[in-house]
Amino acid sequence: MKLYAPSTIREIRDRFGFRFSKSLGQNFLTDKNIIDQILEGSGITGDDLVIEIGPGIGVITREAAQVAHKVIAIEIDTNLIPILNWTLGDLENVEIVNQDVLKTQLNDLIAKESFPGVVRVVGNLPYYITTPIIMKLLEDQVPAASITVMMQKEVADRLTAKPGTKDFGAISLMVEYFAEAKEIVKVPRTVFVPQPNVDSTVLRLDIRDEKPVKVEDEEFLFKVIKAGFGQRRKTLSNALSVLKGYDKATILRCLEEAGIDPVRRGETLSLEEYARLSDVLRSAI
Ligand code: SAM
């Protein structure tokens, strides 16, 4: 049975009385070529533990299980669990976890496993929570070697944007801090059922062994970055005033010490500048 064939999706719908949930971002892949490109692009080997986010009916899961040591697939929709048991029941190296990935302790889940290789995260992400998922994977420092995921094209553009461009945001800096991003393939909206009204991109994030900037306190750097982007049209000296314990005079003094013009806007600063500013601010009070 070709799981990714539209006729299979129809059969599953009829057999299980399944109804697609728009609010859970359910757009299922129907193109084997794209599935292969995600998996080849992710670099999975037979030694690796794969964490899949949002398996749907299991199209990526099934193919990943053919190459990986083990696949743990995290699916929020309880209605999909009997379907996944039916489509993947013959595979011994697949575990389905019926949970919200945003509430899953991924580090604990991974710590319980033993495998000779590395952890690789894959998935065709639900579009409504792509950014929170990526933020969680990065900020929780999930011990993955790579994250290869499909997302709405515009989100991929934001993740890989450079300072001063319209797509540049806090998430662009978080991605730059933790990973090296590479586009694997662009995906047209026509290869999904039901068809979304956006196109997609598959990105691979290779998690860095060494961060591109060194700071005294990572958590504080993230706070400064988020504050810097909090109010887009405000100058940096105003935007940073949301940081607890910092008055305007201290912020201005720190910006001067870090060599950053206080009338610049947060979205024009590079990661190096945020790192410098974060260290100066941290030691100021
Ligand atoms: N991997 C399948 C495919 O490519 O055909 C399905 C991809 S579909 C775009 C996204 C999947 O993520 C759906 O199965 C949806 O139910 C699931 N999902 C949505 N929100 C989730 C969450 N918070 N945690 C885990 N899975 C979620």
List the chain domain ranges.
Answer: 6-207, 218-284
Closest of 96, 115, 223 to residue 170, by C-alpha: 223
Of 9, 28, 37, the residue with max ligand 1 atoms within 8 A of its CB, to mutate for a pocket test, comes to 28
Q: What is the DSSP letter of 235?
A: B
What is the CB neighbour count within 10 angstroms for residue 283?
11
What pLDDT is attached to residue 93?
98
- Kindly give the distance from the C-alpha atom of residue 27 to the centroid of ligand 1, in angstroms, as a whole number: 8
Token pair for residue 58?
Answer: 């299991």
Ligand 1 atom with least separation from CA of 60? 1
Beta strands in 81-199 (DSSP E): 94-97, 119-124, 144-152, 179-187, 192-193
What pLDDT is attached to residue 285?
84
Low-confidence ranges of the chain (pLDDT < 70): none
What pLDDT is attached to residue 145?
98
Q: Is 55 in the pocket of ligand 1 (CB under 6 A)?
A: yes
Share of the chain above pLDDT 90, in %: 97
Q: Is 75 in the pocket of ligand 1 (CB under 6 A)?
A: yes
Whether the model clears a pTM of 0.85, i.e. scores above it, the answer is yes
Burial class from Cβ neighbours inside 10 Å (0-12, 13-18, 19+) for residue 8 reads middle
Chain centroid to Cα 186, Å, comes to 17
Pairing verdict, β 28-29 and 192-193: antiparallel
Q: Is 54 in the pocket of ligand 1 (CB under 6 A)?
A: yes
Ligand 1 atom with least separation from CA of 4? 5
Q: Of the CATH numbers 3.30.1600.10, 3.20.20.140, 3.40.50.740, 3.40.50.150, which one belongs to the domain with range 6-207?
A: 3.40.50.150
Angular region, 206: left φ>0, alpha ψ -120 to 50, beta rest: beta
Q: Is 236 in the pocket of ligand 1 (CB under 6 A)?
A: no
What pLDDT is attached to residue 1?
78
Ligand 1 atom with least separation from CA of 126? 10
Protein residue with its CA nearest to atom 1 in ligand 1: 55
Q: Which CATH class is domain 218-284?
A: mainly alpha
What pLDDT is attached to residue 203?
98
